[in-house]
Structure 1
Amino acid sequence: MTRRIVPLTPDRLAAMPGPCSTCVAWECTPADAGRLDHDAEQRSVEKRAWVSSVLRDWGSCGRVVLDDDRPVGYVVYAPPALVPGADRFPTSPVSPDAVLLTNLWVARSHTGAGLGRQLVQHLARDLVERGGYRAVEAFGTTGPLTRAPGWSSCTPPADFLARVGFATQREHPLHPRMRMDLRSLLRWRDEVEAAVERLRGVVRPPVPVPSPARTHETRPAVRRDASARVLRGRLRPGSRRAP
């Protein structure tokens, strides 16, 4: 079994299972999303066009978990300006210095394996490497997975977001807006790198110790040199006593 996490592309979108692969509630305004409610084929076209547009203008907007090349989980995220559907949440708008996590889904057969946490970690690493963003925000869900019309059940639970590093930014009984600060991740990475450098400075190659044979060879020479110096001192010119 080979498992890997790869960037989301339009080609991988068609193979993604779960309710979010053809949902456009995030990507369209409420009016446009309502117009596409009963046209699954057109929703799929719109979703693919959105992923392609974001990929061209901003970069990959998601990560996909492949288990033997079969998608078993994914996370989707983008700058809030590219996610008009987020305005429907009562705790919007998203902070301008943050990227919005929209969809997070893991197949039921793979829940409990830590894939959700790994997806969030890959998301955060991607944003740190890009630079220019201070945080990730998401609209969590508390209580039963109930939704207003047009919303799917793939919005992350608030308790899961709290476990992976998010804190409540704006409270709400159903959909609190939550935030994970990337600066804390950067500080943690810097501290780890500094600790590694300190270890490299402490762990030095051992100093070679002379072997016993070599020590045995050099000691007589030292004694002979000392004896010669003593003898030369006793036999200085003019220091010899008359008989």
Structure 2
Amino acid sequence: MARRLEPLTLANLGELPAPCRACVFWELDPVAARTANRTGDSELEKEAWLSQLLLDWGSAGFLLYVDEQPAGYVIYGPAANLPRIQAFPTAPVSPDAVVLATGRILPRYLGMGFGKLLVQAVAKDVLKRGFRAVEAFGDSRWDGPGCVWPTDFLHAVGFGVVREHPRNPRLRMDLRSTVTWRSEMEAAVERVWGVIRPEAPAPRPVTVREVKEPQRLEHAPG
């Protein structure tokens, strides 16, 4: 079962699952989202949001492919670029954290650890950008696919509650203190990234003979 990760871009945005492709739950505030859904502009609004975020901040999501078929995705980013956050009773998020907004694994791939793999990919990217943590809002009454992570899933992949709420607690993963998890994360993500981003081979040492005879080197086989 071959797996690979790709950053979410305008080129592959259309490969999100059908209900998610046009969903602007996180990308717009509640009033603007309702308007976009009513007028049929939600897909265009999502494209505009992603385009602006890519310019302002860079990649803000990953698509997971299994045997070249889309299997799941995740979206994350700075709180300032996710207007829906202000509608949560446990907002705001901490200033040193990036927000794990939403994601989904397609039904046929559930139970294979791919949700955790996507979270690990986000955590690695967030660390590289210099942030201390990832925060997320949970749904403690989750009963099926939606726009908010199940609280139980967030607990299972290493998040802890920082602000309680009966429906939407805010959870946090401190990336600099979870040393064991980080080691596991880096190994798992590198295995998947390696499918599409192989390491460049080390340069071959140049011998004294090659330095003295550059013309012969030019015609040597590659």
Contact 2:175 2:182 (8 Å CA) reproduced: no
Q: How many residues align?
A: 185
**Structure 1 residues 43, 189: closer, same or farther in 2, change over 3 A?**
closer
> What 5-or-longer segments of structure 2 have no aligned partner?
184-222
Could you say which residue in structure 1 is the equivalent of 2:136?
Answer: 138
CA contact (8 A) 1:106 1:115 kept: yes
**Could you tell me which amino acid in structure 2 is paired with residue 166 of structure 1?**
F
Once the two structures are TM-superposed, the CA of residue 22 in structure 1 deviates from its matched residue by 1.3
Relative to structure 1, the CA distance from residue 4 to residue 188 in structure 2 (aligned partners, 3 Å threshold; closer, same or farther) is closer
DSSP-derived class of the 1:95 partner: coil
Identity %: 47
- Match among 171, 175, 196 for residue 178 of structure 1: 171
* Letter of the structure 2 residue corresponding to residue 126 of structure 1: D
Question: C-alpha offsets along residues 174-211 of structure 1, whole Å, 9 cap, x if unaligned?
Answer: 11110001112457658xxxxxxxxxxxxxxxxxxxxx
> Could you tell me which residue of structure 2 aligns to residue 83 of structure 1?
82
1:25–1:85 Cα contact (<8 Å) kept: yes
CA distance change for structure 1 residues 87 and 189 in 2, over 3 Å: closer, same or farther? closer
**What is the Cα-based RMSD across aligned positions, in Å?**
2.2
TM-score by length of 2: 0.77
Which amino acid is 1:61 matched to?
A
| TM value normalised by structure 1 | 0.71
In structure 2, which of residues 154, 169, 176 is the aligned counterpart of residue 161 of structure 1?
154
For 1:12-69, what per-residue CA distance to the aligned partner results, in whole angstroms no more than 9, with x for missing partners?
11111153221112111222112112234x1101101111111111110001101233
Q: Trace 1:152-231 onto structure 2 (pairs within 5 A).
A: 153-185=146-178
In structure 1, C-alpha distance between the alignment counterparts of 2:181 and 2:69, rounded to whole Å: 33
Partner of 1:116: 115
Partner of 1:27 in structure 2? 27
Larger Rg: 1
CA distance in 2, matches of 1:122, 1:112: 18
